[in-house]
Structure 1
Amino acid sequence: MNSSTLNFSSWLSETVSSVEQHLQHYMPAVDVLPEVLHEAMRYAVLGPGKRIRAALVYASGLACMNSAMLEEQQKQNLSFAAAAVELIHAYSLVHDDLPCMDDDDMRRGRPTTHIQYGEAMALLAADALQPLAFDQLAQMHIDPLSIVQAIRVLSEAAGSRGMVGGQVIDVANVGNLLELSQLQKMHQMKTGAMIEASVRLGAIAAGANNDLTAQLNRYAVAIGLAFQVVDDILDATADTQSLGKTAGKDAQNNKPTYVSLMGLEASKAFAHQLYNEALVAIDSLGYQAQRLRELADFIIRRNY
């Protein structure tokens, strides 16, 4: 994977293809008992998706290396880390879509997992994706202490102090008017934590030093929040076909969002402010951070 010769679109396509091939290989096959569970797991994970979190893992890893060309072992380590993030993300989407949560029947442009396989099987498939994610991290060919660090990073980001905790705050505040600081805290946990983890896992897999890790963390905090602000904007402005999921769901469910709290134009301005903060954080990294800059641009300008 040569980071310097491919344009961003080609690099992103190659990165997405790489992690999807990895997931295809390491996920249980549909003919392995219990077949329907493994079929549902693969359905939840291998459907069309942006794979932004996986791309952030690879881009972060590249930012930690002196060469634009990944060695095969380095690429495999980043693939394990990227797959782990995608597995956790996929499980969270399956749970989010359940009737007891957001009650949605479309995800990534096709029926949600519980519509396709029933609620019980969707729940169990999502449950099974979580340990599989940590199994991926355990297979990285790096020193044991770094593997432990990676496992802790992902477990904290996905747990009660991260994604799940943010989701709890979200569920508890349907119909409530949050202050901006409360909304920001919720989204830093619900969405930002896993995006931050993606960047941190790429750095761990690549063996980054503490100074470089601190720069990448500042980038990740800013771009993670920007991602959610753009999500809120798109939910209010894009159509269902473009999003691949039901548009206007936040307003329909009376959920607090940046758009409902700040207004559309102020939300757009805030997203660009966060985008600029992300770029400043990695400014000194030069060409090594090329893909992180391009991903920030992709996140801020995306329409789905």
Structure 2
Amino acid sequence: MLKDFEIFLKENLPSVESFHPDFNNALGEMLDAGGKRFRPLLLLSVVNSSSPLLVKNAMHIALALEMLHTYSLIHDDLPAMDNAELRRGHPTLHVSYDEVTAILVGDALNTHAFYMIANAPLSDEVKVRLISVLARDGGISGMIIGQAIDCKFEDKKITLDELKFLHVNKTAKLIAASLLMGAIIAGLSREEEKSIYEFGLKLGLLFQVQDDIIDATLTSDEAGKPTGNDGHKNSFVNLLGVEGANKEKSRLLTELEDETKKLDTNLAKTLQKIISDYFKG
């Protein structure tokens, strides 16, 4: 599916007619630079396990999700935030171009994500729900408040509960939304949607814990992005140490294995494989 998604992404990179010399290159550059495609994979996996005939239609939503995620990375890397020079093994946009271009490309990908959903080949009812979920968890009730807290509390120690609140919002909710959006497209029941969203929140925390461990233990070349830069941040490694973060990772893996028992058998097998491929290697 990810191979098909990459083809779909390259065929649908956003562009605009203008006499700006390099805006279109910048607009597609970070999207086309690769990445884990973790969120599109989750969405497409849910659809494929329950309603495989809808996978082609769901590509539009998977790309919208990746656009919104990529906008958040572009803005996260800006000098006003993390001031990072590398992302996905590629120079960040404010380095390749300038800060204004990076800000505007981020803005463009954010809004274009919702344009993609609005024009996707799905029913209006489904599209309204998808827009609502993405706006909620990618907006002030999720990623935005998480990022605001992350930046505000640099160099200030917070509690473990506060750290989890930060990362549930900044990272986990968009991952949970990816699964929920797949469930909405596939027409799963509201009870199944609830179970898969709760699973996604724990999966998102696991994703963040592993990312913190990577930052503390891998080189920038190995990770494809700057590492060793979390010294000012409230990370699981900074609060618990590498050993403590690994224990938290193990705890979350155990909880996720229990959570899969609440899901449809086909979907459970799919998610178990994703967990094995991404977090147990």
**TM-score normalized with structure 1 length:** 0.87
Shift of 1:171: 0.4
> Aligned-residue CA RMSD in angstroms?
1.6
Match of 2:247 among 269, 273, 276: 269
Per the alignment, residue 52 of structure 1 pairs with 38
Q: Which moved more, 1:136-145 or 1:264-273?
A: 136-145
Measured in 1, the distance between the counterparts of 2:81 and 2:218 equals 22
Structure 2: how far apart are the matches of 1:29 and 1:126?
A: 13
Q: CA deviation at 1:85?
A: 1.0
> 1:181 corresponds to which residue?
161
Give 2:109's aligned residue.
129
Q: How does 1:234-245 map to 2 (within 5 A)?
A: 234-245=214-225
Q: In terms of mean alpha carbon deviation, does 276-285 or 184-193 score higher?
A: 276-285
The residue number in structure 1 matching 2:6 is 20
Shift in Å, 1:288: 3.3
* Alignment match of 2:205 (pick from 225, 232, 235): 225
Deviation, 1:177, is 0.6
1:282/1:63 CA distance change after superposition, 3 Å: farther
Matches within 5 A, 1:1-304: 15-29=1-15, 34=20, 36-65=22-51, 70-71=52-53, 74-251=54-231, 254-283=232-261, 284-301=263-280
Shift of 1:87: 0.2
SS at match of 1:213: helix
- Which letter does structure 2 place at the counterpart of 1:265? E
Count of aligned pairs = 280
| Counterpart Cα distance in 2 of 1:291 and 1:81 | 19
Unaligned runs of 5+ in 2: none
Taking the aligned partners of 1:109 and 1:85, their CA distance within structure 2 comes to 21
Contact 1:163 1:190 in 2 (8 A): yes
State the shift of 1:16 in Å. Answer: 2.4
Secondary structure at the aligned position of 1:282 is classed as helix
Structure-2 change in CA distance of 1:179 and 1:76 (3 Å): same
Q: What is the CA–CA distance in structure 1 between the aligned matches of 2:233 and 2:269, rounded to whole Å? A: 36
**CA spacing shift, 1:291–1:149, aligned 2, 3 Å:** same
Contact 2:48 2:55 survives alignment (8 Å):
no
SS of structure 1 residue aligned to 2:264: helix
Which stretch of the first structure deviates more once superposed, 175-184 or 29-38? Answer: 29-38
Show structure 1 runs of 5+ residues with no match.
1-14
Structure 1 distance, partners of 2:136, 2:33, is 26
Q: Deviations over 1:269-293 (max 9, x none)?
A: 1112112222222225223332211
| Larger CA deviation: 182-191 vs 255-264 | 255-264
Using the alignment, how far apart are the partners of 2:208 and 2:214 within structure 1? 10
Query: 1:4 corresponds to which residue?
Result: none
Tell me, yes or no, if the aligned pair for 2:46 and 2:267 is still in contact at 8 Å.
no
Residue number in structure 2 paired with 1:3 = none
Q: Distance in 1 between matches of 2:202 and 2:45?
A: 16
Q: How many angstroms does 1:26 deviate by?
A: 2.2
Q: Could you tell me how far apart the structure 2 residues matched to 1:152 and 1:277 are?
A: 28
Residues in 1 aligned to 2:199 and 2:258: alpha-carbon distance in whole angstroms? 8
Please state how far the C-alpha of 1:50 moved relative to its aligned partner.
0.8
Report % sequence identity.
Answer: 32
Q: Contact between 1:41 and 1:125, CA under 8 Å: does it hold in 2?
A: yes
C-alpha separation in 1, matches of 2:21 and 2:195: 44
Post-superposition offset of 1:59:
1.3
Residue 32 of structure 1: CA displacement? Answer: 5.7
Q: Distance in 2 between matches of 1:226 and 1:35?
A: 41
Is the 8 Å Cα contact of residues 229 and 267 (structure 1) preserved in structure 2? yes
| Structure 2 SS opposite 1:263 | helix
